[in-house]
Every structure is written in C-alpha cells, then in structure tokens.
Amino acid sequence: MTRAVSGAAGWGAPRLIKTAIAGAIALVAAAVPVGAVAGASARPAHATTQDWPAYLNGPRHTSYAPAQTAITPASTRDLVQAWHYGSGVDYFASPTVSGGAVFIGSGLGWFYKLKESTGAVLARRFTGYRPGKTCAGSLGTAATATVADDPVSHRPTVYVAGANGYLYALNASNLAVRWRSVIALPSATVSNYYDWSSPTVANGRVYVGVASQCNKPSVRGGVIAYSQASGKRLAEFYTVPRGILGGSVWSSVAVAADGDLFVSTGDGPASDQLLAYSESIVKLDPRTLRVLGRFQVPAAQIGADSDFGASPVVFGSYVGACNKDGIFYLLNQATMKVRWEKRIGVASFEGKTGECIAAPAYNGKVLYFGGNQTTVKDVTYEGSVQARKPSSGELIWETPLADGVTGSPSLDGGGVLAVPGYYPPANQTPQAVYLIRPSSGQILRVLGTGSEFAQAVFAGGWLYTADSDGVYAWRVKAQAEAGRRA
C-alpha cells in the first residue's frame, strides 16, 4: 500500500481500481486540455495547521492533526456531506489539503486540484494510466501527493508520483510542470514497475520508493532521493543485489527528528525471501542513502506473503511498522532492536481477509491501529481498531469492525479517530469510514460511501474522504449552513 500506499500494494489485487478502457481516457483527454482549467488562479498559502499537506500528515507519519478541533465526538452526529466529486471513478490515493485546495490522483490517471470548500475543479493534469496486463485490473495514480514550498523560489509545489513512472513537481497554483524525473519506466507489455510509494519531502530532498505493480513480474526494489528544487537524482538505495528481482518498496519513507530515514521493504525473490534488505525496516542516511542499520523479520515468522506494505511511523526514539504476518514491530531507532511486537491481525498468507498494511495514528500518548481479520472474545471479525500504549504495546481497548482496515487511521484534536473500512467485498458487508472515540473505542458514526482504501484526513475544520466512487467533503451542519449564507 501506500498506502501506499497507500502507500502499499503488496496486498495483491483484492479489488483493483475499476477497469476503464483506453478509449474512454482518450475522450476525456481530448475534452479538456492538460494543465490548468481556465479561470483557476488560486495560489496556495504556506502550509499551516489547517492543512494536511502530505501522506500520513508529514514525514513522521503520525496521522495526527492536533489543531483540528471542529469535529468532536458530539458534533459527529451533525456531519453532513458538503460536496462529492468524481462519481464512478475509484480513488486509492488519499486527499492532500493545502492552501484552500484538495490535491488528489484518480484511478483514470488524472491528478486534480479541487476547491476545498466546493469541490470545483481548479486544475488537472494527466499523470499516467496503467491498463491491466500481467496484473489484474488497471491503475491510475495511487500515490498520495505532498505539497511543500520549493526551497529556492519558496512557491508552493505539489510532488506526486504518476502511473507513468515519473516523479512530478507541479506548481500548486495551476499544476503546470516545474520538473519531472524518472522513477522507473514501466514496460509496454507486462505489469512491472508501478509507483505505490507516496513521495516524502524533507530537508530539500524528495524520497520515493521503487516497486512492482503486483509482482507479476517483480522488480528490483529500492528508494531514490531527488533534489527538491531541480528533480536531479541524488542517491539510490536498492534492497537486493543488481540482477536480482524483489524487495519492492510499496510504502512511504519516514523521516525522524534527526533526519534519519526509515523505509519498510517487501519480500525478496521466491528462492530467498529474506535476501539482503528484503522484509526489513531499514535505517538510511538522508544524503547518501547508505544503510545505517536494519531490522529483518525473523525467518520463523515468514510466510508466503509476509512482507512490509505499511509505512513506518516514527516518534520519540522509536520507529515501527506492521508486517503482513499481522505483527507490528516497534524498534529503537538507535539500535534497530525490537522493543516490543504485538499481533494486530491475522497473517495474510493464512488465506484470511486483508493484510496488516496500515500505519497507526499517534497523538503523543497512544498508538491507534486499524487491523485486518481478528478474533475478539472467541468471535471472528473482519477487522478492528485498537489503542495501545507506545511504551509496551499493551492493549488499552479494541473495537471489532464489520470491515477490515487497510487504509491508515487519522486523528484530529477534537477527539475523533477516522478509520477507513476496505475489506471484505462490498457485496458481503457495507464499507465505510468509522468515526471512533479515541478514549474508549466507541463507534460514534459510520459514514457509508464506498470501498475505503484511502486515508480520511482532517483539514480546515472539515473531513475529506476518498473511495471507490469519488472524493467527499464532510462538515458540521451548522458550519455548512453558515458557509452557504456567507
């Protein structure tokens, strides 16, 4: 996933983005020119506490917006849908909100800038589309964008990885291309390279993972560092030796307070799943991408599909990520040794529903997990939400869900945890965003819209979600009515 997941995609293809024929894309491309929509001139302001400017809300991946207090447990009952855009199109990427606009890539390959308050299209750009070849299903842009100021011009810039194998830097004002650089160009005949990894921007560099679309075939996984200002490739890290295929980086790179990078990796080749830096959380030098340390999943816990699809979360002196073996590993950053490990859900290779590929939300006191199939008091559920103590992993509470969770939870400062439900298939149970009280695990409200892989985000007093039927904006009813009167 991404995630990138999602930032993550090692989950295979339980339900890939709806197939759209190339002719439909050609008609859309012909109807509206690539680039800015006429009349769009809004310029994003510098990122503020009202924004959600990146995947998991920034390089540390805490998924926490403490300044967002408009949506509270009491006001969740008054949430109304303010707007909806993109009906009939699947969105795997999460919304990025900055400077009064929502930035997001779609399943048909168009990347959009939408007006935060109305959903009106301010600009769009085509960033690639991958028809199904050796992988089942087609894909547009699944990686979540980052909005950050250019280090030279200080202009707000959007960094997004497209389905065509390029990393883009786009003017936030109109999505005009400032530069584009190759990540890895996909084949015209097979489904090899595809970017699930959401770009991470930190200290004048952009970091992005290299991955396969669905391991049919595999590719040589890695991480590439680019100059944020120019797009020049500055350094590379590969998970397996030259000539070997495996170790995809499906996830997004995390950055600690001291600048060190942490990346989670996929499985190695079938002949040696643990080859080199496969199935690991790796610590990298931010300038050279030299390996500074690593943790690798013990051989006894390896299965047919147990690798890291979840992005790491960093806090204090620790870093952790959930593996598809169902276990979250918390490590000491300095030593890369396990402090504790806890089971969040079943192992994906056991043939159960879903995988543990979500990053937990962290508010400085508690880790909040979304998980796949689990058993609570001898009853099996498709998923759950868990609160755990960061010092020990001790369970504080657990709430079972009708859906599994593969998208990452998010948390606001008003006391609401938003959890996207994705599994099982829609014909079995409804899929939705669950709004949870973080102090107790109580389900406050269920926003039923569609298959929810993308992370829901809190920004500007609103909640933004994306799913199998478009992008949605939710606002407290009194605020929505005041906005209409204004």
In angstroms, the CA 469 to CA 85 distance is 8
Helix (H) / strand (E) containing 480: helix 477-485
What per-residue string of b and e applies to 183-211 under the rule 16 or more CB within 10 Å gives b? bbebeeeebbbbbbbbbbbbeebbbbbbb
Q: Among 27-36, 418-427, 459-468, where is mean pLDDT lowest?
A: 27-36
Residue 17 has pLDDT above 70, yes or no: no
pLDDT band of 403, cuts 50, 70, 90: confident
CATH of the domain at 330: 2.140.10.10
Q: Average pLDDT in the 292-303 region?
A: 94
The answer to whether residues 281 and 262 touch, using CB atoms and an 8 Å cutoff, is yes
pLDDT in tens, 354-385: 889 999 999 999 999 999 988 888 999 989 99
Domain tally, the chain: 1
Q: CA–CA distance from 47 to each of 29, 195, 424 (Å)?
A: 31, 25, 36
pLDDT band of 36, cuts 50, 70, 90: very low
Q: What pLDDT is attached to residue 349?
A: 72
In angstroms, the CA 435 to CA 173 distance is 33
Tokens of 467: 């799913």
Q: What pLDDT is attached to residue 351?
A: 62
Q: Give the count of beta carbons closer than 10 Å to the beta carbon of residue 486.
A: 6
Three-state SS at 288: coil
Task: Determine the structural domain holding residue 336 and report its residue range.
Answer: 2-485
In angstroms, the CA 15 to CA 137 distance is 8
pLDDT in tens, 309-344: 999 999 999 999 999 999 999 999 999 999 999 999
